[in-house]
Amino acid sequence: MPDLRPAQGGGIAFSAPGQSMNVLAKETISIDRPAALIFDYVSNMENFGRWFQGVIAIEAVANEAHGTLGKTYLETVNIPLRGSRQIKLQVIESRKPTLFVTEGDFSPVMPRMEITITECGLSSRFEWKMYSRNHGILFRALLLPLIRSEITKRAQKSLPRLKAVLEQKTS
């Protein structure tokens, strides 16, 4: 089972003993909805394009229930200076209503998205993190700063959009 400790000051998160990931973005927002309602919405990755900037389309590959381990999606995203690209995503961890994790096969980034939801009275703390599983020195030196900047900008615009969408829904 992965060790999901938060990143320490240097921007590295640990996913398994001896294996590190590069933090691309980490954003948190309070949403005035129960954790289970938020989890149900975000674990249906077909909703991702409704709230996350840069996602053009996303669809499930098969008919498993959303939030099921191993469920696979095809996501079409807008990549600056490269146009749209399709990424295969797979749910690798799902613990309703608190944790949802996906990994994608998009090289050179090799993204991992982690969503943590903590209920706090009448609202919930929603934390969204994106990591790169690429350990290459050239990637970290040349591409990581650019990708980190772009993903952070998208996350900063997208979490308020998610909050607005969910707070408009009736519980």
* Mean pLDDT value across residues 58-85: 93
Q: If you write DSSP's letter for every residue of 106-149 in order, what string do you get?
A: -TTT-EEEEEEEEEETTEEEEEEEEEE----HHIIIIIHHHHHH
Element holding 70 (H helix, E strand)? none
Q: What is the mean pLDDT of residues 61-76?
A: 95
Task: Enter the pTM of the model.
Answer: 0.87
Q: pLDDT (tens digit, 9 = 90+) per residue, 91-147?
A: 999 999 999 999 999 999 999 999 999 999 999 999 999 999 999 999 999 999 999
Distance, in Å, from the CA atom of 31 to the CA atom of 28, rounded to the nearest integer, reads 10
Longest dimension (CA), the chain: 48
pLDDT over 70 at 1, yes or no = no
Are 91 and 69 in contact by the 8 Å Cβ rule? The answer is: yes
